[in-house]
Amino acid sequence: MTTRPKSSRHNAALVLGAIGIAVSVVATQSNATRSTQVPRASATSAYDLFTSIPVRSEVKVGYQRELFKHWVDDDSDGCDTREEVLIRDSASTAQVDRYRCKVITGDWYSPYDGVTHTDPSDIDIDHVVALKEAWDSGANVWSSATRQRFANDMSDRRTLIAVTDSVNRSKSDRDPSNWLPPNRSYICEYLGNWVAVKARWGLSMDQSEAGRVRKILSNECAGTTIAPIAKVNGVATVSPTTTVPVRNRRPATTVAPRATTSIPSTVTTEAPSRESGATVSRPGAFCSPAGARGTYNGRAYTCTTSPTEARNRWRQL
């Protein structure tokens, strides 16, 4: 058996010791890195977020597209919002004429119809929640600066999306109650984006819109999740005079009528109807005492609760 010199054995021990120290340091650094990483935010249920959105009648007057200044150059880099979205959404690196920041070509997949385009003239930049729909749902009380922020929102890519121009024009300003993408495989994601935009910007839904979204999210799109939203600061909202309760998936328990019901300070009731001597507010408005009866526009109403709400409202029975 060959015996190594003592100095060789000593040197080998030093090398092995150094390797051990290095491994230990790397492991310690790796553990430290893992311990300091911020946990990734968990996904949000699209249905649960939907139930947080208020349901109220829309404002159908006053909209003008010019009230939403769009396709502006917010970051002063020479590219307006349309060109920014084209550059962002191109699957390949978009070719851009830097003289006027005009996108020349790229590769865009339109999820609305499943078609791919290379010519930007075939692409529209869609406001997922159309400008008029936003106006009808609460943007009518926003400042002009806030409406401009909404019309050019690049902070959440669900607000603006590059799609086939003809499909976008067929959508126009319609909500999910009367328009959904022809690409059926994209409907769940589309509704998730719709709910995210409305919730981020504090917008409401009308009854037919909420009913359609609720039905789809609780059936064929049950379990749909979306990336967490960051609500936009400084957005003014309106407290509706009549709020339509959104039903949960399970039927609510019937609650016996109360003797009296106080009216929240954020709810405005109307003056008594002149058509009868009873104290009658507009149908659906809060009322008291329980059991009171009256008429409005020739129809009889009762102040009572419902299977989905314990508070008294003027209801037609």
Alpha-carbon distance 100 to 113, whole Å? 30
Which pLDDT score, from 0 to 100, does residue 295 have? 76
Strand pairing partners for 115?
110
Which pLDDT score, from 0 to 100, does residue 245 have? 39
Q: How confident is the model at residue 280 (pLDDT cuts 50, 70, 90)?
A: low
Q: Where are the alpha helices (DSSP H) in the chain?
A: 6-36, 46-50, 81-89, 131-136, 144-151, 165-171, 187-200, 207-217
Q: Where are the domains of the chain?
A: 46-226, 251-317
- Say if residue 213's pLDDT is above 60: yes
Which pLDDT score, from 0 to 100, does residue 145 have? 96
Q: Is the dihedral of CA 171, 177, 182, 187 positive or negative?
A: positive
Q: Which residues contact 202 (CB under 8 A, 6 or more apart)?
A: 138, 231, 232, 235, 237
Q: What is the pLDDT of residues 114-125, one digit of tens each?
A: 999 999 999 999
Question: Nearest CA to 67 among 163, 166, 134, 159?
Answer: 134
Report the percent of the chain where pLDDT is more than 70. 68
- Say if residue 301's pLDDT is above 80: no
- Say if residue 198's pLDDT is above 70: yes
Alpha-carbon distance 235 to 198, whole Å? 12
Hey, what amino acid is at 285? A
**Residue-averaged pLDDT of the chain:** 78
Cis geometry, peptide bond prior to residue 283 (ω within 30 degrees of 0): no
Which pLDDT score, from 0 to 100, does residue 307 have? 60
What is the value of pTM for the model shown? 0.64
- Say if residue 267's pLDDT is above 60: no
Whole-number Cα distances in Å, 116 to 67, 109, 213: 32, 4, 28
Q: And the tokens for 215?
A: 């039905």
3-32 mean pLDDT: 42
Q: What is the pLDDT of residues 19-41, one digit of tens each?
A: 443 434 333 333 433 333 333 45
- Measured torsion, CA atoms of residues 9, 11, 15, 18, in degrees rounded to the nearest 10: 110
